Amino acid sequence: MGSREPFLSAIFFFFFLLLFCLGCKCIASELHLHTTQTAVLKVDASLQHARQIPDTLFGIFFEEINHAGAGGIWAELVSNRGFEAGGPHTPSNIDPWSIIGDDSSIFVATDRTSCFSRNTVALRMEVLCDNCPAGGVGIYNPGFWGMNIEDGKTYNLVMYVKSPETVELTVSLTSSDGSQNLASSTIPVSGASNWTKLEQKLVAKGTNRTSRLQITTTKKGVVWFDQVSLMSADTYKGHGFRTELISMMLDLKPRFLRFPGGGNRNAFRWRESIGPWEERPGHFGDVWHYWTDDGLGYYEFLQLSEDLGAAPIWVFNNGISHNDEVDTAAIAPFVKDVLDSLEFARGSADSTWGSVRAAMGHPEPFPVKYVAIGNEDCGKKFYRGNYLKFYNAIREAYPDIQMISNCDASSRPLDHPADLYDFHVYTDSKTLFSMKSAFDRSSRNGPKAFVSEYAVWRSDAGRGSLLASLAEAAFLTGLEKNSDVVQMASYAPLFVNNNDQTWNPDAIVFNSWQQYGTPSYWMQTLFRESSGAMFHPITITSSYSGSLAASAITWQDSENSFLRIINFGSDPVSLTISATGLQARVNALGSTATVITSSNVMDENSFSNPNKVVPVKSQLSNAAEQMQVTLAPHSFSSFDLALAQSKLVAEISRCEAETLETASLHVDYSVARRMPDTLFGLFFEEINHAGSAHGYSLSLSLSS
Q: 663 falls in which pLDDT band (50, 70, 90)?
A: very low
Q: Please list, residue by residue across 497-512, b when 16 or more beta carbons sit within 10 angstroms of its beta carbon and e when fewer do.
A: bbebeebbbbbbbbbb
For residue 496, the SS3 value is strand
User: What is the per-residue pLDDT across 550-595, written as a single tens digit (0 to 9) for each?
Assistant: 999 998 666 678 899 999 999 999 999 998 887 777 777 778 999 9
Rounded to a whole number of angstroms, the distance between the first and last alpha carbons of the chain is 33
Evaluate whether 268 touches 274 at the Cβ level (below 8 Å): no
pTM comes to 0.86
Count CB-CB contacts under 10 A for residue 574: 18
Question: How much is the pLDDT for 5?
Answer: 47
The percent of residues in the chain predicted with pLDDT above 90, rounded, is 78
Alpha-carbon Rg for the chain in angstroms: 31
Which range, 25-29, 340-344, 662-666, has the best average confidence (pLDDT)?
Answer: 340-344
Q: What is the pLDDT of residue 261?
A: 72
Could you report the per-residue pLDDT of 188-230, keeping only the tens digit for each? 999 999 999 999 999 999 999 999 999 999 999 999 999 999 9
pLDDT tier at 456, thresholds 50, 70, 90: very high
* Overall average pLDDT of the 357-367 stretch: 98
The three state secondary structure string of 420-453 is: EEEEEEEECHHHHHHHHHCCCCCCCCCCEEEEEE
Q: Residue 641 and residue 212: Cα distance in Å, rounded?
A: 51
| 474, 567 contact by CB (below 8 A) | no
Mean pLDDT (the chain) is 88
CA atoms within 13 A on the CB side of 96: 18
Instruction: Supply the DSSP symbol for 413.
Output: -
What is the pLDDT, as a whole number, of residue 324? 87
Report the alpha-carbon distance of residue 523 to residue 238 in Å, rounded: 30
Tell me which of 641 and 295 has the higher pLDDT: 295
- ω before 188 within 30° of 0 (cis)? no
**Residue 589 has what pLDDT?**
75
pLDDT of residue 123: 98
- Which of the four CATH numbers 3.40.50.880, 3.20.20.80, 3.40.50.460, 3.30.413.10 does domain 60-70+237-413+431-451+473-482+492-531 have? 3.20.20.80
| Domain at 98-232: CATH code | 2.60.120.260
pLDDT, tens digit (0-9, with 9 covering 90-100), for 462-500:
999 999 999 999 999 999 999 999 999 999 999 999 999
CB atoms within 10 A of CB 455: 25
Q: Name, in order, each residue with C-beta under 8 angstroms of 13's C-beta and a sequence gap of 6 or more.
A: none
Q: Where are the domains of the chain?
A: 37-53+537-646, 60-70+237-413+431-451+473-482+492-531, 98-232
* Residue 31 pLDDT > 80: no
Instruction: Report the alpha-carbon distance of residue 194 to residue 513 in Å, rounded.
Output: 38
| In contact, 406 and 373? CB cutoff 8 Å | yes
37-53+537-646: what CATH class? mainly beta
Range with the poorest average pLDDT among 175-184, 239-248, 511-520, 692-701: 692-701
The pLDDT assigned to 621 comes to 74
